[in-house]
Amino acid sequence: MKAIAYAITLFLLAGGGLPEAGDRPTNANHGNQATKVRFVPLAVYIDPQGRPLAAYQFEMKAIAGHVKIVGVEGGEHPAFKKPPYYDPAALAQDRIIIAAFSTNQELPRAKTRVAFVHLQVSGDVDPRYELTLTVAAEGNSQQIKATIGFQEGALQ
């Protein structure tokens, strides 16, 4: 019985599950060459440059490659440990808008990982991403100047 459960788990992890309506097959065979599929975590960082970061919103989209967003996790600082909110409608357009707000007394003042975005990357084209920080603010709603960045494949 354990062998069957193990085989089913491997099958699902390899992308062998039932496709959703409108999905392109991820293991399609084009001639003799199967489409390459891999899963990539993308760590997103915000640097509030010494100011207390209480809220943020950013947009992420792939500008090259075939990318499907398959999950979102929270960040490293206790203020942003919970998974952030995101717009499910934006996912249908191959982009994501992510936002979070914290009422914690202790807020990050230095560069911190605010989210992990998990991606399914198909094909041989290396993806390129575009992140736009829409807003970053202190607890009193005062906007702050902050920078955003990412690191592909980081799981710390």
1 falls within a domain: no
91 falls within a domain: yes
* pLDDT for the residue 82: 96
3-state secondary structure at position 10: helix
20 falls within a domain: no
Span 68-94, mean pLDDT?
A: 89
Q: Which residue has the tokens 């494949």?
A: 153
pLDDT of 112 over the 60 cut: yes
Span 126-152, mean pLDDT?
A: 94
* pLDDT for the residue 155: 63
141 falls within a domain: yes
3 falls within a domain: no
Q: What is the Cα–Cα distance from 142 to 30, expressed in whole angstroms? A: 53
Of 52-61, 62-71, 79-88, the poorest mean pLDDT is in 62-71
Entry pTM: 0.75
Q: Which residue has the tokens 């390459």?
A: 36
Provide the greatest CA pair distance for the chain: 59
pLDDT of 101 over the 90 cut: yes
User: Alpha-carbon torsion 109, 156, 123, 94, what sign?
Assistant: negative
6 falls within a domain: no
CA 80 vs. chain centroid, Å, equals 14
The fraction of the chain above a pLDDT of 70, given in percent, is 76
7 falls within a domain: no
Q: What is the pLDDT of residues 8-29, one digit of tens each?
A: 333 333 444 333 333 444 444 4
Domain total in the chain: 1
Of 12-16, 59-63, 109-113, 127-131, the poorest mean pLDDT is in 12-16
CATH number of residue 110's parent domain? 2.60.40.680
3-state secondary structure at position 86: strand
Confidence at 34, pLDDT banded by 50, 70, 90? low
Domain extent for 138: 34-152
Q: Which residue has the tokens 């399914």?
A: 120
pLDDT of 131 over the 80 cut: yes
Span 76-87, mean pLDDT?
A: 94
> In 3D, which of 92, 13, 97 has the Cα closest to residue 57?
97
11 falls within a domain: no
pLDDT of 150 over the 90 cut: yes
